[in-house]
Every structure is written in structure tokens, then in C-alpha cells.
Structure 1
């Protein structure tokens, strides 16, 4: 039997793979073989650790030393110094930005310290392609407890008591949803996982599927037992090939040892899972559109009622939750509803996983208790705003969410507080913006996304969002009209009340929230022909100030030949020729060129 004296855990989530972790792994294999350590050191590919900004990430056990931004050229030193000589390679440790302290253990890094990682507990720490590692961490204990100790109605009652709410957007009570499906007439019922994660910048579900797929399988199996379903579907977008690969492996492994299939754990309960790959239509994140897609139809929503719990997949009662919601189920059953309900706020229990993107130092995934403030997420876990820029806004809830300003940074992050503020929890996308961001342009960006993804079935969404987008485009092009703000507000409110599905009803949220908190920017665009953030190209003018030394560098780099002037004399920009590319500003050593 081989004696393994060290384990190298290498992040092989999509983010780290794109940063070169596969090359790092190949370098490890080569260097270990050179040193004759290939039989004593085991390399394990894990899922995402969440600290994406610092990838590729490597943890070496038994010491648990956490190395960041490891490249293939660093591997020889890691093998020689750490694995061969037993010394830490300090230059590859994480360094806190304020104290500059080098930290060898991920547990001591602020990014992780402020988190409560329950859904993400195994991500980055187990081999997602080995069911034994999941079981070693307590995996499938929840399913075993449900089948051996609880009746189906007891499982539903436990989920209700926990206070778990859906993590896919609307925040509907999960236990109540399960109860509706369980009580619906009929013997054939389905469990469906909505893994069609389409929000720009969101990758929470993908990371769970890549790093801990058995957690989803267990949660869906418990749900199947509770509602009386013997069949389930995971609807996952085809753009997630690694997630699909690992989910297929996990399903096969669970079937092989009797945790999926017939008579699971000799309980008489049968449950099978299938994967349905989606083509990437954002509208298929809506329940009824998703159901239509699984059935082989065009993914378009239908009016409700009847709700899926009564008439869903092929007309049968169907329960639909997203990956993170199912990911909470095993621990609720194992540890109890009271344990789960002790986390979070009165009406928002448990934790929430957020994808931190945009103008923030620590991009990545963070799982935090409900009720934490936005300030803690952005400045403590996220590390604040890069390049000493000033925070301006945070977009929370994806394209259906809203933009919140600086004076709301201390708002508790829970379902009710966010709705009251004009935003929403959504699936967990969190995009941070700094002072260089134009809020009118942000509203246009998100509305452009939802408009292009509209299925076109209902007129308010199909035509209304198109007209709103035209108005926003005019405003950012410097062609805004005095009545545009009132017209945008009127159209947004009409769409919210008349669109067929939840996606259409929430599409105007970014416009309404930016009008609520940043109306002055709209007014500046329309009345002053000015973009306060200096981001809307058509409203910019580039001017050379009297601090110009006449070095001529700006003139040399101008692609439009719009700059003229003699050496050692102040230069000028011909605004009729200027294409506003910014090359002159970037080149000027005296910062004599300004945007106005």
C-alpha cells in the first residue's frame, strides 16, 4: 500500500482553470516525478474555493498552507522548498492589503473569516469526482436520516420550520412549495432543479455543481422523498461543460452504490435523476419556460395559475428549486430546523451565496449570514474598491435587481429590506460600481440584456422594454428630451404590472432604482448634455489645459490626427475630428488633457 505523506489540493473550478491551473497541475506532476515524490504526494483537483481574484489556488496538506496566484513557473520552487525541504514559500502566500501580513492559512484570511460557508463548505476541499470524499464529510447523512427516521410529511414540516426560502430569485418559502406539490393530486410527480444561471456576473450555482455535485443530488433526493416523486431533472445550461461533466459522474457514482435508483437504502423509495442541457436562453430561468424547454418545446412562459406545483412537467405536479436551495436541504435534515433557523434574521433564515464582481478588489464567491450589511460584504470580504476610487453603487439581484447608493451600504442584506429599497436578492449576483460608472449607462446595459433575452410572447415586455431602451440610448447619446424621465417611469410601472412572467415584471427594476437614487445623473444628461461620470462618449469633450508643455506625445498617438501644436507650445484638439478614444490622456505625462 502506497504511503501518501502530502496532498496538493489544486483548484480546478472554471475560474482557476482559465487562469492556468491545468498547466500548474502538469508542472506538479513533472516536478514530483523528478524528485521521486510522485508516489508520496497526491494531487487532487477540487472545485472553486471562492477566492477567484487570487487564483490559481493551491493548498498543501498536512500543513494546510494556502498559496495564491500560483503559476507553472512557481511549481519547481514549491516542490523543492515545501514538499522536499519542508519550508513555506512565503512569496506565494496571501498578503493582507492593509497590514501586508503574509497569511499561510486560508482560515485567517479576512475574505474567509467573515463568511459562514455551509452550502460551500466542501467546495475547494474535496475531490468532486469522488463520492467517498463527500460521504467522509457527512454526505448523504441527511438522506439516510430522512429515509430511516422521518415520514415524508415530517421532512416537509422540518423544511417549513427551518424558514428556508428559495434562493433563485423570488424568495418563496421552500417548505410551503414542497407542501403544495406533496398535497397536489396524482401519483406521478417531479423534482426539477433550475441550474439555468443566466444573470451577468453570476456563477454561484456553477461553482456548487463543479465543486460539490453530490450536495445537489442529496437535496433533490430528499425533496423527492418528501413530495412523493420518483424522478428528477437538473436543467443546466450547456455553457457549463465542467459542471455537467462532474454532475454526470456524481449521478453515476450515486447509482452504483444505491443512493439513486430503486429501493434506496432498502427504504422502498425510488428516485432517478436526469440532466437536461439548456441552450442559454435567459427566459428559461422562469419556471414555466423551463418546464416547456424540458418538454422539448420553445422556452416561453405561460400564465399562472395553474402553478407548477399543481400542473408542471407534462402536466404533473412539479417542485422547482435552484441549486443553492437544494444545497441547504441536507444540512437542515442532518442538523435540524432549529439550528438553521438560528442563522440569519427573523424572516430571512440561513446564509446566502453572492458572486462578487465589478469594481471590487476580491472578486469571487462569498457565503454570508442573512442580515449582514452591504458594507461588510463589499469592504471586509470584498476588500473595497480598487485604485483608491470612491464607491458609487452596487447592483444586487442581477438584471432584475436594483442599484443601491452609498448611503444604503449599512442596509441589512435580507429579502424584505432589499425589496423595500427597490432591489431584490435575486440569485445572488452583486456588481460593485465606482465613481467612473455612469448610472444611466448601467440601466441601459441591464435593460439591453433583458430586452434581448425577452421571449417576445407578451407585448409589455417585448415592446415596452424596447421603447425604454430606445429612450435610454437617446439619453446617453446626448439626445435626451425634457419628458423622458416621466415617460420612463410611466412605462416601467406599466410593464411591472402587465408583463406575463416574473422576468418581464422585474425588467424595469434597474431603471426605476437608478431614477430613484441617481435622478440627478439623468437630469445632467438631458438638460446639461453632460455625463457626470465621464463615461458616455457622445457627451464628452477632450481639452488640453494650459499646463501642457508641448512635448507632442499626445499628437503622435492620436489616431484621428485631431491634435495640433508646435513643440514646447500648448497643443489643441480639433473636436470635430476627435473620436474620444482616450489615447492622448493615457499618454500625456503631465496630465494636461481632461475630459469635460
Structure 2
């Protein structure tokens, strides 16, 4: 059995309450940090752990904390990004629902390390049940002297507030989140300045994902060096994966980074294989914004080695033959799923969620949606595939925030790996509307690629 750090007690009745959470060792990290460690000691343990941001970017958390400006007499803030708007991702919601005190404890320790007296949890507006759960957990912690003035007699003061978000994908981007938190329209800011210098209310701010902050708890309890022993290479620790799509056992799984992708998909400990005994066709490994990979490339790297669930292994080969860990939204497609239809669905989402600030994204996502609609509905010409490629290429890297890249990458990967499926839709317009382009159209089910 794989080690679990965040979901160890997930099945314990009442683990969502302070009483049961403390019975299972909860808030030991707060006591240890506030009573026997300085803020710099906590920061050093997080650095030694090698923890990387679990929201998608994978940037080293300790390094991000060290960038926080600390001008004299200026407030600093920690903001937890609980927006979780990436399609295919639901692990943060799961954690907040079942073990809310893991996040609250992580917020206290992280706030102490950063020297913040006020911290916020920005939760996606649709997650009202989770908002109420977190507010209840904060009230319990405050009544127990774990929040507020002079926490545990340490002299450290902290208030945590839950803020319902705007319900927009773009608010998952940290500067758009800060704009929304300030009561403005959630449009991304131009960087620099970065939030570490000028963030919430113009003050130095750190924005971290739910899982990232919760992971600070086992790091402080066990030590950064022990945490770094779990995983592989620079992909240390455990990772929560939201497994969905055509799997026998979809759900949230905590894995040790470095687990073979094939084992994650097919072992009974995890996803249990493809539903209904069908064959695997493709996988989106890290949420809708990362490149899709066909079965042969998600199971093996371009050099023939087993692909691992790690930041480095998934990215091996760049976007030509690799993908990204992203937010851990793992979506599997079986042999009967239509890649064109899936790509159109993703693109329609990104067109809808574009804030409209940048013309490449505002106009480009709309045109990609129209072209993909025409391809899916038998109204396109062969030249439209090349036009679609050119549009996504002109969006990537040309927008203020990463939403443009998020919209472009799935389209690029779908054309790169499944171009013959796009061509089939165009050449068979009547059949395309009534029948999916499944693996039966490929000579080798595990190599659905045109050179």
C-alpha cells in the first residue's frame, strides 16, 4: 500500500470535526511550529521538502515563499486558492469537504512562516457546501484557541476568512483571484509586479493552492528531509489525483509521485482499468488545459521507458511527445471516444471563460470554437485543420495570463496526435455526426499516430 499523508484518516467517522481530527494527531504541526520553531525554521523545512505547487504550475513552494517582500510596517497576506476551476479536477473540493481542518492547520503554519496576521481562503462561488464546512472548521479552531489572539500562548495572532469567489475559471489565476478578492472584476493583472511584491491591496502576498498548503502539515510533523524521501527526483512527496473519464473506479487518489502511469490506470488499488472492458485510447493527465496524449505515449515515454506520475516524466519529450502534471485532473478516454468532440467541448469552455482582455484569446478562442464546431458537424474543409493550427499558435504565449495557453495546448495536441481523426470527420461528414471515430479506425490501437 502506498503511503498517504493527506488522506490517511479520510474514512474515520467525524474526521471533519475538530475533536476527531485532534484525536488523530491534528494540530500537532501548529503546536510544534509556534512553540519550538521560528518562521524561518518553518520556511527552511518547506524548502528542504522539495514541495512543489499542487495547483498546476509545480513551482517550488519554499522558493515562492522566500520571494515574499517584507517591508517594515506593511501588511503581508497569505491567500489560499480554492477556486479549483480546472475541468477534470476535484481533489481540493474533496479535501475541504472531508478533512477541512487539514487546510486550516496548514493555513496557520504557513501564515506563521510568512508573518501574516490575516489570511484568506478564496473558494469557488459554486462550492457553497464547502464554504460552510470551512467556516465551521474555522469557528471550531477559534473556540479552541487555535486562531485569533495569542494562539496557544505563543504571542502570534491570526485571523482566517473564507471568501466566496466569482465562479469564473479565470479567477483561478492568482492575480485575477486577487482582483476578485478586492471586489473587482476578476481580470488578470500584468506582471511584474508579482504578488510577492504587490498583491492583495498592493501588499506583499503569497497565493498557494489548497493541496500545497495542506501538505505543509506533514512536512512540519515529520520534517522536510523525510518528506523529500517520498517520490522521485525533484517530484517529492505525495500527490492527490482526480481520476475521471472512462475508468472503472473514478475518484480521488493519493499517490506517491513516481508511480507508473500504467499501474495507476490498471491496478485495483487505484483506477482498476478502463470501464466496460474497453481499451484505452488517450489520456488528459493534468486537467483540460494540458496536452492530450494517445495511449502509447501516456504509458511509455518517447525513449520507451515507463511513463511515471511525476512532473519530469510526464513532461519528457516536451509537447511533441509529453504533457504536464498540471492540477492532477486525470481524464481517461476509451476506444469509442471522439477526440474532435472532446476538443470542441474544451474549446467551447475556454471561449466562454476568457475574460476578453487580450485580443488573441478573445478572438482566437471564438474562432477555434467555430472551426471545431464545423469539423464536428460535417461543415468543414481540409484547410480548416491548418487554419485551426495557425490560430492556436498565435494565441499561445501572447496573452497576459495562461488562459490563452490553456486554450491553445489541447487543440495543438489533438491535431498533433489525432490529425487523421480530424480528417476523417471532414471526409465523412454524415457518418461523423452519428458515429464516433473509435480505435477500430486505427491499425494499431496503442499507436494511433500519423507520422
Taking structure 1 as the reference length, the TM-score comes to 0.69
State the partner residue of 1:274: 161
Contact between 2:230 and 2:236, CA under 8 Å: does it hold in 1? yes
Q: Which has the higher contact order (CA 8 A, sep 6+)?
A: 2
State the partner residue of 1:490: 390
How far did 1:422 drift?
A: 4.1
Which one of the candidate residues 382, 388, 407 is aligned to 2:277?
A: 388
Deviation string, structure 1 residues 373-428 (Cα, Å, up to 9, x no partner): 22111111111112221110111222211211111213112123323344222221
State the partner residue of 1:529: 428
State the partner residue of 2:307: 411
State the partner residue of 2:261: 374
Q: How many Å separate the matches in 1 of 2:131 and 2:292?
A: 33
Structure 1 runs not aligned, ≥5 long: 1-112, 542-596
Cα distance change on mapping 1:138 and 1:266 into 2, 3 Å: same
SS of the equivalent of 2:81 reads: strand
> What is the Cα-based RMSD across aligned positions, in Å?
1.8
Cα distance change on mapping 1:404 and 1:185 into 2, 3 Å: farther
State the partner residue of 1:343: 230
Contact between 1:122 and 1:211, CA under 8 Å: does it hold in 2? no
State the partner residue of 2:415: 515
State the partner residue of 2:440: none
Q: How many Å separate the matches in 2 of 1:173 and 1:192?
A: 17
Which one of the candidate residues 180, 183, 198 is aligned to 2:67?
A: 180
Taking structure 2 as the reference length, the TM-score comes to 0.90
How far did 1:336 drift?
A: 0.5
Which one of the candidate residues 135, 140, 157 is aligned to 1:253?
A: 140
Larger radius of gyration: 1
SS of the equivalent of 1:487 reads: helix
User: Within 5 Å, which residues of 2 pair with 1:108-123?
Assistant: 113=1, 115-123=2-10
Contact between 2:70 and 2:76, CA under 8 Å: does it hold in 1? no
Q: How many Å separate the matches in 2 of 1:388 and 1:265?
A: 55
Deviation string, structure 1 residues 453-487 (Cα, Å, up to 9, x no partner): 11111111111111111111111112222222222
State the partner residue of 1:557: none
State the partner residue of 1:239: 126
Which structure 1 residue ranges, 4+ long, deviate > 4 Å from structure 2?
182-186, 538-541
Contact between 1:422 and 1:513, CA under 8 Å: does it hold in 2? no
The 10-residue stretch of structure 1 (444-453 or 195-204) with the greater mean CA deviation from structure 2: 195-204
SS of the equivalent of 2:293 reads: strand
Contact between 1:349 and 1:370, CA under 8 Å: does it hold in 2? yes
Q: How many Å separate the matches in 2 of 1:404 and 1:438?
A: 14
Contact between 1:393 and 1:434, CA under 8 Å: does it hold in 2? yes
Which one of the candidate residues 472, 483, 504 is aligned to 2:372?
A: 472
State the partner residue of 1:215: 102
Q: How many Å separate the matches in 2 of 1:405 and 1:288?
A: 34
How far did 1:538 drift?
A: 5.9
Q: How many Å separate the matches in 1 of 2:11 and 2:90?
A: 15
The 10-residue stretch of structure 1 (421-430 or 498-507) with the greater mean CA deviation from structure 2: 421-430
How far did 1:186 drift?
A: 5.2
